[in-house]
Chain A
Amino acid sequence: MIVELVLNIGVYMPEYAILTRNLTKIYRGGNIGVNSLTFTVEEGEIYGLIGPNGSGKTTTLRIIATLLKPTRGEVYVYGIDVVKNPLEARRLMNYLPEEAGAYRDLSGLDFIRFMLSVRFSGRRLEEAVSEAIEIADLGNDLKRPIRGYSKGMKRILALSTVLASHPKLLILDEPTSGLDVERSIYVRKMIKRYNKEFGITVLLSSHNMLEVEYLCRKVGILYRGTLLREGPVEELKARTNSVNLEEVFLKIKGEAA
């Protein structure tokens, strides 16, 4: 109701960590990435975007993270227009792409220091580095070149840098993709912890409905570039008379098809 009011009168409410309005991305050749996407993420919330491959999750996250420019529509991060002021927007957020890796020739420690040195300096940098080392929990492996790391180690390393940067908004594209069960659980715990302890707003995408149900209060269901439905997980389950998010997704997708 508030969102509709805000959108109708055209005034942005700064309490929203993210506000997208009629967000549309059409790729060269006419492929539609996302179509008229309108949604909001409140400050301190963990919001999940779910949908099958090609539904527009990554496109949405990339646009918000200032990596892609929308064809139409607006995106605000804490009141900042990400298209007009991308640099300012990037100061407030950090982004972990799907399959994010790290520089092969650097050691894990050097990678952490490099990624954090673009945001911090001096004592604050040292604190952030220490924090990332703690999150990564890779022990002496941090001194070894990254080329010898497993996929899971690289993923944890990349995640440690984005968490330790304490952004106001954290965008995670498939944060546990390709990780084993133990590491997946660890990553989910870290996301929850940072959201709770530091009030970091999280926007994530995932194929793993159980993961989304565990982490997110609110979800948006994307299908072929369109937001079919959004709302609190429990509310969606009740409305569709489903026992879990997987069932919610299948029922809503079935209705759309």
Chain B
Amino acid sequence: MSLTPLIIREVKAFVKNPAFIMSIVLLFVFYGALGRLISTGVQTVVEETLNVQVGVVVEDNSEFVNKVLSIANETSGGRLKLVGSVDSGLSMYEIVVVIPPDFTSRAMNLNETLVLESYTKINTVSPVVSSAKTGIAMTISELIRKSVAFTIAVENNIDPSLIEKPIVVNSTVELYGKTMRMEEYTAFSSILGIIPVIVAIIIGVNAMYASQFTATEKVEKAFEMLLAQPIPRRNVVFAKIIGSIVASLLMGIAYFAGILFMLSSAATPSAPAPSETSINLADFLYQTFGFESISISIVSIVLGLVYSGAIGVTLGSIVSDERIAGALTTPILFVFIGVGYALLFIGLPINVVTGVIAGVTIAPLPIVAVVSTMMGDTTTLAVSLLVAVVSTLSVMSIAVYVFNRDIVVLGLRIGRLKIRERT
């Protein structure tokens, strides 16, 4: 019986908290708008991809191959186009399939497996688009396999469903001009996909720490005493930002150390040896991303920490307690994750405009850094970094400005709702 009023009080404390309501409204509006934007972007790129034509390089000029390709082309609605080489094919089409010289002999020998090579050109970070393209390459390969079975069946006057002809497709991806095997690309895109989340979590957690520390100081009633000391307010702000960064880094190190410990504990001596096709992730990342990209990504994270620290300190300084600080900064985490993913899923090209967006929002900055480095687009890279530095300095300036205003003592008031009671 006595539990009910306690629960009602706790729930009411949150529901009647203006910061909590603002957070919900903000998230609802933000993700609603983001969803519409992503939906439109994804729909457009998928439609474009589905109508794509496929180049075919024939290295086995047999009558059998001609028949197979004829059937496959007819079945695909005329999407197969003969090209002279992989390079010329990729300059015209985004997907090229190669029929190797031993294709006919493998097709005729029942014990042999069909082998094809596919090349997919991907100039986007969108996992939706790249999945669609690699999916099309696999669909065409499957179509060729079925066409082989059909041709053999017709020539031997048997039922095509009785012919089991397995196929192996050696897929290669050309990402922003850099050639990599499919498994390498899969690893690359997986990492690229989690980068904005990792950065957003680091930024969001840091913002929370900064706001909580600042709000706690106000609750402890030591804040006004500190502000009355002969120290520039900007020093107070910088100290709080650096403090939150140190706390976030310690938490991050502990987190990654914990993950490594978990992985090492989970490993068993009888684990199978790595296969020939397995890849050394660290070496691969270093070779693919390059020292420059990795360095810029680290710089991005540092900028993001300062940026989010300044946001957190600002929010923490204008609220009255940790609860409101938490309610206000939690959405920041989701907003950063949303922005990071938006750049990925909308499939925006990496250019100066997206560089500016990434610079302002920080979370997608490592993606822009990685891709623009791969493309050799130093302008986009420089612009995004410059904008990120300017954004960070701007947010810090706002924090210092707030610390020099009455609001830091009186608290923020929105309309008639008081976030902090005036003394």
Binding site for B on A (CB under 8 A): 27-29, 31, 58, 62, 65-69, 87, 90-91, 93-104, 115, 118-119, 158, 161-162, 171
Contacts of A158 in B (CB 8 A): 222, 225
Complex: A102 Cα to B232 Cα, angstroms: 20
Q: Is the beta-carbon distance between A102 and B227 smaller than 8 angstroms? A: no
Contacts of B422 in A (CB 8 A): 27, 31
Q: Is the interface of B mostly helix, strand, loop or mixed?
A: loop
Interface digits, B393-413 against A, CB 8 Å rule (1 contact, 0 not)?
A: 000000000000110011001
- Decide yes or no whether B111 CB sits under 8 A from chain A: no
Contacts of A96 in B (CB 8 A): 225
B224 nearest in chain A by CB position: A97
Contacts of B227 in A (CB 8 A): 66-67
A-B contact count (CB 8 A): 67
Q: Is the beta-carbon distance between A95 and B406 smaller than 8 angstroms? A: no
Q: Is the beta-carbon distance between B230 and A100 smaller than 8 angstroms? A: no
Q: Is the interface of A mostly helix, strand, loop or mixed?
A: loop
Among B217, B225, B405, max chain A CB count under 10 A is at B225
Chain B nearest CB from A256 CB (Å) reads 23
Complex: A66 Cα to B232 Cα, angstroms: 12
Interface residues of B in 225-258 (CB under 8 A from A): 225, 227-232
Q: Is the beta-carbon distance between A98 and B228 smaller than 8 angstroms? A: no
Q: Is the beta-carbon distance between B222 and A102 smaller than 8 angstroms? A: yes
Q: Is the beta-carbon distance between A87 and B232 smaller than 8 angstroms? A: yes
* Chain B interface extent, by class: 20 to 34
Interface residues of B in 210-226 (CB under 8 A from A): 216-217, 220-222, 224-225
Q: Is the beta-carbon distance between B423 and A118 smaller than 8 angstroms? A: no
Q: Is the beta-carbon distance between A58 and B423 smaller than 8 angstroms? A: yes
Chain A nearest CB from B169 CB (Å) reads 61
Q: Is the beta-carbon distance between B409 and A62 smaller than 8 angstroms? A: yes
Interface residues of B in 32-70 (CB under 8 A from A): none
Not counting A95-B225, A102-B220, a sample of 19 additional A-B residue pairs whose C-beta atoms are within 8 angstroms of each other reads A27-B422, A28-B413, A58-B423, A65-B228, A67-B409, A87-B232, A90-B229, A93-B228, A94-B228, A95-B224, A97-B228, A100-B222, A100-B224, A101-B221, A104-B220, A115-B225, A118-B229, A119-B230, A162-B225
Q: List 17 A-B contacts (CB under 8 A).
A: A27-B422, A65-B228, A67-B227, A91-B230, A95-B224, A95-B228, A97-B225, A97-B228, A100-B225, A101-B221, A102-B220, A102-B221, A115-B225, A115-B229, A118-B230, A118-B231, A162-B225
B422 nearest in chain A by CB position: A27
Q: Is the beta-carbon distance between B229 and A119 smaller than 8 angstroms? A: yes
Among B220, B228, B406, B422, max chain A CB count under 10 A is at B228
Contacts of B217 in A (CB 8 A): 103
Q: Is the beta-carbon distance between A68 and B230 smaller than 8 angstroms? A: no
Complex: A95 Cα to B222 Cα, angstroms: 11
Contacts of B405 in A (CB 8 A): 69
A97 with B221, Cβ < 8 A, contacts A67-B227, A115-B229, A119-B230 known: yes
B406 nearest in chain A by CB position: A68
Chain B nearest CB from A123 CB (Å) reads 19
Contacts of A97 in B (CB 8 A): 221, 224-225, 228
Complex: A62 Cα to B221 Cα, angstroms: 14
A101 with B229, Cβ < 8 A, contacts A27-B410, A58-B423 known: no
A104 nearest in chain B by CB position: B220
Contacts of B221 in A (CB 8 A): 97, 99-102
Q: Is the beta-carbon distance between A67 and B423 smaller than 8 angstroms? A: no
Chain A nearest CB from B321 CB (Å) reads 13
B218 nearest in chain A by CB position: A101
Q: Is the beta-carbon distance between B220 and A67 smaller than 8 angstroms? A: no
Interface digits, B260-271 against A, CB 8 Å rule (1 contact, 0 not)?
A: 000000000000
Complex: A100 Cα to B231 Cα, angstroms: 19
Q: Is the beta-carbon distance between A101 and B220 smaller than 8 angstroms? A: yes
Complex: A70 Cα to B45 Cα, angstroms: 58
B220 nearest in chain A by CB position: A101
B423 nearest in chain A by CB position: A58
